[in-house]
Structure 1
C-alpha cells in the first residue's frame, strides 16, 4: 500500500520531545569516561600522490596552513577535483550514474502486469536461474528509481531526489532534479535546466565518493554538459535554515565556458552578492574535512565494485544530516509526512540506527542514539512515547542492547537505563501471560498478541490487528534470551530474573515452532504458512476479499519472524520459499504487500533486512546477493542514493526514510563479517560475490567489531588461479569456530588451501569455507588455489 495514500484521511497525534543535547563524542564520554579520543586531523594525501596532469587550474584560495590551488579534470563529467595545499592535498572524485533507463527492455522482456500479478517472484526466478545473479542484469530488470517523475503521483509536491544538510542544523534542504533548492535556483543561471525533458537525461552522484555533496550532470551533446554542485555550509550555525553552496557551470570541450557560484540565495546587491571562486573552494575544503572527521571511526572496507563501500559511509553521513544535532531521531526528511514529530519515537528508526552503527564500529554514535532514545522515548513503564508500538520491536530492542554490551563493554550506559530495560522486558512477559490464559485449543494460545505494525493504531477499530503474529513472539523470544545472557552484568543481583527470562524465551520458541508446523498448508505449492496461526486464506486472498484484513502488512511479520532466528532450518526455508512463491518478494527483496495490482509490485526498502539476514544464515548466498543488488538499484535513486521506504518498480519517486538508508550498511557488513545468533561461530566473507573476487582487486574489512573483539580480513585473487590474503582473529576472545569463505570465481572450485603454510585438515573444510584456529588477535596468512 502506498503509505501517503494510506495516511490520507487518518488522524494521528504525536508528542514532540526536546532535541538531544549530547553529540556522539559527548555521549560516549558521559557513559564511559576516558574512552573518547580527540578528533583526528583532516586527512591529506602527500604531494607525491597528487596527479593533476591534464587538469585545468580553476583558482586559488587561502586556508589555515597557507595557499591552496584548485584543479579539475574537465575532459570527462566524472573528472576529479584536486585541492592542493602546502602540505599535501585532497582528491574529490566523481562517479555519476544515469537517471534514465538503460535502453534494455524492462522486466526482462515480460510486462509489468505479468510480474505484478504472478504469485511467484518471476524476476527473481529469472535472475537466479544460473546461480549467482549478475549485478547489471539486476539493475536493468526494472526502470531506475525516479526515472519517471510526475508531480501528480506525489500529490503535487516538487519531485526532489536528494537533500543536503549538516549535523548541527535541525532541518534539511531538498535538491530538485535540476540542482535547484527552494532558495537557490540553478535555472536562473541556465534556463535549459528548467526543461524537465532535458533534465530527465541527467546523471547524479556524490562528490568525493560518499560526501553528502550533490553532483548533477545534464548532457547537451558530446563534450558539452551542465555541471551542478550543491553542498551544505558546514560552518553555518542556523538552527533550522540550511545554508548551501552552489556551483553551476557549462563545460564545453574540456573547459568551463561559464560558471556562477552561489551561497544559499540569489544576489541582492549591494548587500548580497555572489561569492567568488575562492570562497566556494575554501568552503569545499572545510566541507571535506568536516565529514572526514565525522566518519573517522567507521570500520574501513575495501570493495572492488564501484560505489559499494561509499554507500555504507554515505548512509552514516546522511543519518547525521537527518538527525537534528546528529542524534535526535527523525524517520524521514523534507516532507511533513515522515519528518513530523509523530514519527520521532518510531522504533524502527532506533533499532536500525543502533544496529548499523554498532556493526560498523561507530560506538559513540550508537551510545548517543541509545541514550537519547531511552531518555526521551522510553517511559518508566517501558512503553514508548509514540503513537503505536510494534510488539516485535520491543524484543529486537532488548536483543540490540545485549549486542551493544557485547561490542562496546559499556555497562555504565545500560545501568543508567536498567529500570526502563527491565520494564521493556516486563511488557513482553505480561503479554505472554495474557496468551497463556487462553484455552489451549485457541490458535493464539502461548503466542504474544499485539500490533505488529504501528499504523494499525490509526484505524477506527485497531483491535482487528491485536493478534498473535508469529513475529511478535519470535522477536520477544530472541530479545528475552539475548538480554538474559547479559543481565547479571547490568544487574548483578538479577540472576533469578535472567533465568526467568530465558525460561520464557524457550517457552515462546517452542510454541512458535509447534504452532507454525500445525498451520502449514501443504495443499499449496510451495507450502504456505501465514503470518499468524488459524488463517484460512493466503495473505493475497485475504487482502483482496477482507476489507480490512487481519493479514495487513504481512511483509513486516515475515521479515521479523525470520530475523529473530528462532525457527529450525527446515521451517526457516519453508517461510522463505512461501514468501517467494506466494507474492511476498519483488526482485528478491521483501515486497510491500497489498492486494494484487497489475501496475505495481513494490519493494520494501526498510525492515526487510531481517529476511536477507536469514538467507545468509541458511547459506542461500545467491538469493542474498540478489537482495543486495536489487536493494541498491531499485530502492535507491541512482547516484544520489536516496533510499525509499517503499519503491515501485515502474520508475517513480519514493518517500525517503532513514531506516531504508541504513539497510545497505547492514547487508555489506554481514556479507563480510557475520556471527551466528548463538554467539558461537564467526563467518568471514560468507557472501562475497564471486565476481568481486574474480576481478583480481583486493577486498576486505578491518577493525570490524564482534562480541569477541575486533576482526578483519583481506583477500585478493590472481590470474594464476591463486587467492592470497590474511585474517586478523578477534582480539579479545576466541569464538568456538571461525569460518573464512573463499568463494572462487564462477565455474571454478577450491582445490587446496593453506593457513600460515600448513595444509587444512579435512574436518576444517566445508565446500569453499575453511576453519581458522588460533589465539585472540593472531594474524593468519591464507593461500588457496582454485581450478
Structure 2
C-alpha cells in the first residue's frame, strides 16, 4: 500500500479533505465546555480576546505560578486547561537515597528497591521519584554522537513524521528566542519545569525561570488542521511573566517571519487553532474507558500515551518504533513485533477497539507473510506466541471475528511457525538440553551478529509464550475457522506437553548453591547472566532480560517457580528500582532499567500478589523511564540523568499497569480481580476511584470505590455484563496498613472475605450482575 492510500485508510474516524489528505477527527469542531464557576478567574490575568465559532472569547491565565490554569471563556461557559508541570532536574540531595552509585551498580541485589521497600508497606511515590536523577536531566549534548538533543516531541495523526522540541522551546523550524533573546541556547532551560497542557494533551508547556524572579511560560503544539503529508506545522506562545502579570507575549506558527509575506500570527489565530487542537484530541481519544483516580495525573499519563501513539504512527495506524532519530524511526524497525503486540494489548485493555482493529488489520496486511513470517529482519520467537494470545483476546473483547477470518490463513501459519519448531525439538535426542523446547531467537538484534546461531537456542520464554499462544488461540479457533476443531485440539495437546517439559527443564536447572537459588534463561547454563556478560563477550545469555520478562508474562509456571524467577532477578543483578534491568556486567558507573517489554514482569508481580513490588515498578517506571512532565518514554534509561532513546512500546507500559491495578483477569481461571493493586493511600484519601466500561472477556465492567475516613467506611459498586459474568469476582479493599476490615456486606447480605489480609470481598457470579459493597473498618 502506498503512503497516500495508507493515509486515506486511517480507521480513526478521520475525515478526508477535498485534497485527499487526512485531517484529525473533530479539527473543525468545538471542544467540550463547562459552566464557569463564579470565582474561577480570581487572580487570573486576562491575556487575550478573540472571536471564533460565532462567539466572543476571552483568555485568562493564572500566572501566579507555572502550574496555573488557562481558561477560555465564551457566553458564560469555559474551556479550562491545567498546566501542571514537573521539575526536569534533580532535586534530591544526596541522590540515590544516600547510597553510592558504584555500590548500586556493583551489587547483585537491587539496593534501591530494598531500601524503598524496607518498611514492609507500599513504597512512597515521592521517595521513589527522588531515588535517582530524572531522565535527560544531566547530559552533555556533545556526548550523544549524531543524535539531536531533543527531549520531547509533538505531532498530529495525519502527518507522517513528528517534530522534536528542545529544552528551550525551539523546534527544527521555529525559535522563540528570535523575540526573546534570553532564551537562546538550552543551558538557560536546565532548571525548567515541564508538563502537558490540559494534563494529557500533546501540547508542551515549559516554565523557564530567570534569576530576577521573572519567568517564561511557553506553549507549543502541532497544527491539527494542517494537510501536509509529512511536515508538522506548529503553534507557539511565549509569555514573559513578572509578579503574576504578562510583560510581553508573542505568538508563532511554524516558521520565522519573512515580511511582508509571512508575519507572526496574532492571538485570534493562535487561540482559534488551540480550540481546534483540543477538540480534535478529545475526539481522537473519546473511546477510551473513563477513569477517575485520586492522583489524576496517572489517568492523564495513560491517556497521553495513546495520544503519543497516534502522533508516532503515520496516519495513526502505520507502525513506527520511535521518532525523529534514524534509530528508531527507520523503516527497518516498522515490522518489529513489540510495536504490534504492545499496541494491540494496550488499546484493547482501554476499550479502544477501533484503533486495535486498525493496528491488527495493518499488521497482518503489511507485515505478516502467507507463511507466517514477519516483514522484519529478526523475528522474535516468543512474540509469535504473544501475538496468538492477543488475537484471542481481541475476539473475546470485541466479538469481531470478521477481521480474524480475513487473516485466518496467516494466523494459522503463525501457529505453524511454532508447531514446526516444536516438532524439530521433539526430534532431538532426549538427552539434549533443548529436547522438547522451542528453539529460536528471543531478540530481534541477534540476526545482526556475524553468527546469529549463537542465539538460536531453547530459551524458556520462547516455550512459555508458545504454550500461552496455543492455549488461547485454540480456545477460540472454531469461531475463526468452523472446520478447525482438530487443529485446535492438536494445539491444546501441544500446550499441555510443552508446559510440562518447560517446568521439568526449569526444575532440573535450578542452581541451589546460590542464595537465592538461580535459574538461567535457558537450560544448561553454568554461570549467571551477569557472569556470562562479563567482558562484553558474545554469550547465549545475551538479551536474557527479554527471556525472563516473556517467561513470566506467559503465566504458565506454578507459583513456586514464578516466585523463584522473580527472586532470582531481584538478587542477581536483574532489576534496578524494582524494574527489570538492561542486563550488563557488574560495573562502577551504571545500572540501567528497561522501559519496554518489562510489563510482563510487572504483570507476574500482580499475579503473585507481590503488590508492593508492583507499585514500586509502577512508580519507578513513571519517574525513571520517562522524561519528567512531557512523559517521553525510554527504551532503556540510566539512573544518572542521561538522554535516553524513545520507543513507543515503552510509552504503552503505564496504561497497561494502571488498567491492571484496577481491573485484572486471571489467564485461565473464571476469575476477575478489581482493585487488586490500588495503593493504600489512594483508598485512604477518601477520594473516588472509578473505571467505566473496562473491557474483559466477560464484557464491559464498571467499578467504583471510595472510602469515608471520617466514618471508617468503604463503599464499592460493581456492574458486570448481564448474562455473562465470571464465576468469581474478587474486590480488594487495600486500606492503609493501620486499618483492618471489620465487616462487609454485598447487596445487604454478609460478605465473604478472602485473601491473606482478609481484605478482599468475594462475589459469586450467580448473585450479580450488580453488586453494592458496604464495609466498615477499625
The answer to whether residue 207 in structure 2 is matched with residue 207 in structure 1 is no
Q: Deviations over 1:504-527 (max 9, x none)?
A: 111110110000000000000010
For residue 553 of structure 2, the aligned residue among 545, 555, 563 is: 563
1:496-575 aligned at under 5 Å gives the runs 496-544=486-534, 547-575=537-565
SS of 2:133's equivalent in the other structure is coil
CA-based RMSD of the aligned residues comes to 1.9
For residue 56 of structure 1, the aligned residue among 45, 61, 64 is: 45
Q: Give the conservation status (yes or no) of the 8 Å contact 1:41–1:293.
A: no
1:64-103 aligned at under 5 Å gives the runs 64-86=53-75, 88-103=77-92
Partner of 2:256: 266
For residue 95 of structure 2, the aligned residue among 106, 117, 122 is: 106
Partner of 1:757: 748
SS of 2:315's equivalent in the other structure is helix
Q: Give the conservation status (yes or no) of the 8 Å contact 2:31–2:276.
A: no
Of 745-754 and 526-535, deviating more is 745-754
The answer to whether residue 249 in structure 2 is matched with residue 255 in structure 1 is no
Partner of 1:5: none
Of 239-248 and 539-548, deviating more is 539-548
The answer to whether residue 233 in structure 2 is matched with residue 243 in structure 1 is yes
Q: Give the conservation status (yes or no) of the 8 Å contact 1:250–1:257.
A: yes
- C-alpha distance 546-221 of structure 1, shift in aligned 2 (>3 A): closer
Q: Deviations over 1:125-180 (max 9, x none)?
A: 11111121110111111001111021133214331110000000000000000010
C-alpha displacement of 1:68: 1.9
- TM-score normalised by the chain length of structure 1: 0.95
- C-alpha distance 776-51 of structure 1, shift in aligned 2 (>3 A): farther
Q: Return structure 1 stretches of 4+ with deviation > 6 angstroms.
A: 15-18, 38-41, 763-766
1:443-462 aligned at under 5 Å gives the runs 443-462=433-452
Partner of 2:734: 743
Of 377-386 and 676-685, deviating more is 676-685
For residue 218 of structure 1, the aligned residue among 208, 211, 218 is: 208
Partner of 2:17: none
Q: Give the conservation status (yes or no) of the 8 Å contact 2:378–2:445.
A: yes
For residue 175 of structure 2, the aligned residue among 182, 185, 188 is: 185
Measured in 2, the distance between the counterparts of 1:590 and 1:18 equals 40
Instruction: List gaps (5 residues or longer) in structure 1.
Output: 1-14, 28-37
For residue 139 of structure 1, the aligned residue among 123, 129, 136 is: 129
Measured in 1, the distance between the counterparts of 2:670 and 2:267 equals 57
C-alpha displacement of 1:546: 7.0
Partner of 1:128: 117
C-alpha displacement of 1:88: 2.4
Q: Deviations over 1:604-641 (max 9, x none)?
A: 00000000000000000000000000000000011000
Measured in 2, the distance between the counterparts of 1:714 and 1:145 equals 35
Partner of 1:292: 282
C-alpha displacement of 1:570: 0.3
Partner of 1:382: 372
Measured in 2, the distance between the counterparts of 1:248 and 1:714 equals 41
Of 531-540 and 58-67, deviating more is 58-67
C-alpha displacement of 1:306: 4.4
1:563-712 aligned at under 5 Å gives the runs 563-712=553-702
Q: Give the conservation status (yes or no) of the 8 Å contact 2:382–2:461.
A: yes
Measured in 1, the distance between the counterparts of 2:65 and 2:754 equals 53
C-alpha displacement of 1:779: 2.7
SS of 2:511's equivalent in the other structure is coil
C-alpha displacement of 1:718: 1.7
Partner of 2:11: 24
Q: Deviations over 1:423-454 (max 9, x none)?
A: 00000000001111110010000001000000
C-alpha displacement of 1:296: 0.5
The answer to whether residue 469 in structure 2 is matched with residue 479 in structure 1 is yes
Of 302-311 and 661-670, deviating more is 302-311
Partner of 2:718: 727
- C-alpha distance 402-261 of structure 1, shift in aligned 2 (>3 A): same
The answer to whether residue 265 in structure 2 is matched with residue 275 in structure 1 is yes
Partner of 1:34: none
Q: Give the conservation status (yes or no) of the 8 Å contact 1:628–1:664.
A: yes
Q: Give the conservation status (yes or no) of the 8 Å contact 1:224–1:252.
A: yes
Measured in 1, the distance between the counterparts of 2:402 and 2:355 equals 16
SS of 2:691's equivalent in the other structure is strand
- TM-score normalised by the chain length of structure 2: 0.96
SS of 2:736's equivalent in the other structure is coil
The answer to whether residue 316 in structure 2 is matched with residue 333 in structure 1 is no
Q: Give the conservation status (yes or no) of the 8 Å contact 1:217–1:226.
A: yes
Measured in 2, the distance between the counterparts of 1:730 and 1:629 equals 32
Q: Give the conservation status (yes or no) of the 8 Å contact 1:739–1:770.
A: yes
Q: Deviations over 1:285-313 (max 9, x none)?
A: 11000000000000011111241100000
C-alpha displacement of 1:54: 2.1
SS of 1:258's equivalent in the other structure is strand
Q: Give the conservation status (yes or no) of the 8 Å contact 1:65–1:86.
A: no
Instruction: List gaps (5 residues or longer) in structure 2.
Output: 15-24
Measured in 2, the distance between the counterparts of 1:638 and 1:628 equals 15
Q: Give the conservation status (yes or no) of the 8 Å contact 2:70–2:81.
A: yes
Measured in 2, the distance between the counterparts of 1:586 and 1:192 equals 39
The answer to whether residue 331 in structure 2 is matched with residue 344 in structure 1 is no
The answer to whether residue 122 in structure 2 is matched with residue 116 in structure 1 is no
C-alpha displacement of 1:24: 2.4
SS of 2:210's equivalent in the other structure is strand
Q: Give the conservation status (yes or no) of the 8 Å contact 2:162–2:324.
A: yes
Aligned residue pairs, count: 764
Measured in 2, the distance between the counterparts of 1:221 and 1:448 equals 62
